[in-house]
Amino acid sequence: MQRLAVEQRRKKFEKDGFIVVEDLLTPTELRGLKRRVAQIGNGKLKHVPEDRFEVEPAVASGKVKAKSGIESLRKINNLTDYDEVFLATAKNPKILDVVEELLGPNIMVFGDQFFVKPAKIGVEKPYHQDHAYFFVEPKNIVTCWIALEDATVENGCLHFIPGSHRVGLIDHSEKWMVGDREDMQVPESAIDLSKEVAAPLKSGSASFHHSMILHKSGPNKSPHPRWGWAISYMSSDSTWAGPPGKKPKYRLVRGKAFRGKV
Ligand SMILES: O=C(O)CCC(=O)C(=O)O
């Protein structure tokens, strides 16, 4: 990409807290990922531990009987820790080049989540800032969210509040129940919904968002699944800020590591 375009993209990310990059992955790359995740979700490949899978609430409660393993899932956590195809994609230079523009040359994978959001039953994820869940400093993690299927307003694409990454960490004390698991959300009174923008994506396109931006995804009310894979990256000179001794082993994917840092 030309220097000017790169500079414009960086400025847009600084101002809004997210950018969209069209056609990041090719149809062949997408097909490989889709085949692989279906094999994992349907139990044909068994190398991803069970505790990485989260079942969609309507299926977990017995209200809906899913037609296949993958269609029963809300998400799969940390595929890059177990699966070579997803790990290779997390190292794809087309992704890392954009991340480098936003974070600098030394990059580690912080974590990843594959969101299934199955047709008709996928629940919403209410407004939150990712960094409310992330224990590293500075609060500057970039998530690449790749659409494996078209993500639309009807099937629950991401929505952002542009510029909200610049206001600091907001209170997440409101309870949000995902089935019987308690999670958290930002109270609606703390969100300027007049600024909300939807970020629909064609399959193969991706958004890159800052870990402090307020964002949500809607429920999937459509007959189409909304598969999206979110890989979060941090600069390798970040510092662990969680409980001592609990730091996960992070993977360097570009540049160099620093002693005493993550
Ligand atoms: O894909 C979703 O439904 C939620 C994604 C999200 O909130 C994130 O990637 O941070």
Ligand 1 neighbours (beta carbon < 6 A): 115, 117, 125, 130, 143, 145, 215, 217, 228, 230
DSSP the chain: --HHHHHHHHHHHHHHSEEEETT-S-HHHHHHHHHHHHHHHTTSS--S-GGGEEE-HHHHTTSS--SSTGGGEEEEE-GGGT-HHHHHHHT-HHHHHHHHHHH-S-EEEEEEEEE---TTTPPPEEEE-GGGT--EESS--EEEEEESS-B-TTTT-EEE-TTGGGS-PPP-BEEEEETTEEEEE--GGGS-GGG-EEE-B-TT-EEEEETTS-EEE----SSS---EEEEEEEETT-EE-SSTT-----EEEES---TT--
Per-residue pLDDT, 151:
98
Per-residue pLDDT, 180:
87
**pTM greater than the 0.75 cutoff:** yes
* Ordered per-residue pLDDT tens for the chain, 262 residues: 677 789 999 999 999 999 999 999 999 999 999 999 999 999 999 999 999 999 999 999 999 999 999 999 999 999 999 999 999 999 999 999 999 999 999 999 999 999 999 999 999 999 999 999 999 999 999 999 999 999 999 999 999 999 999 999 998 989 999 888 999 999 999 999 999 999 999 999 999 999 999 999 999 999 999 999 999 999 999 999 999 999 999 999 999 999 999 9
Helix axes 3-16, 93-103, angle to 10 degrees: 60
Instruction: Give the CATH number of domain 3-253; options: 2.60.120.620, 1.20.210.10, 3.40.640.10, 2.60.40.1890.
Output: 2.60.120.620
For residue 81, list its beta bridge partners: none
Per-residue pLDDT, 199:
98
Per-residue pLDDT, 1:
64
Per-residue pLDDT, 4:
72
Unique residue bearing structure tokens 């069970």: 50
148 φ, ψ (degrees, to nearest 5):
-90, -20
Q: Ligand 1 centroid to 12 CA: how many Å? A: 20
Which tokens in the block code for residue 23?
């056609």
Cα–Cα distances in angstroms (integers) from residue 169 to residues 55, 146, 184, in the given order: 29, 25, 14
- Which atom in ligand 1 lies closest to the alpha carbon of residue 124? 3
Nearest to 127 by CA among 54, 207, 209, 218: 218
| β-bridge pairing 228-235 and 107-115 | antiparallel
Which region, left, alpha or beta, applies to residue 163 given φ > 0 means left and ψ of -120 to 50 means alpha?
Answer: left
Which tokens in the block code for residue 143?
């998530």
Determine the residue of 133, 134, 158, 210 to mutate for testing ligand 1's pocket, defined as the one with the most ligand atoms within 8 A of the Cβ atom: 158
Instruction: Tell the residue nearest (CA) to atom 2 of ligand 1.
Output: 217
Q: Ligand 1 centroid to 236 CA: how many Å? A: 23
Which tokens in the block code for residue 109?
């994978």
For 73, half-sphere exposure in the C-beta direction (CA atoms, 13 angstrom radius) is: 24
Determine the residue of 75, 143, 144 to mutate for testing ligand 1's pocket, defined as the one with the most ligand atoms within 8 A of the Cβ atom: 143
Cα–Cα distances in angstroms (integers) from residue 67 to residues 64, 100, 102, 116, in the given order: 9, 40, 41, 14
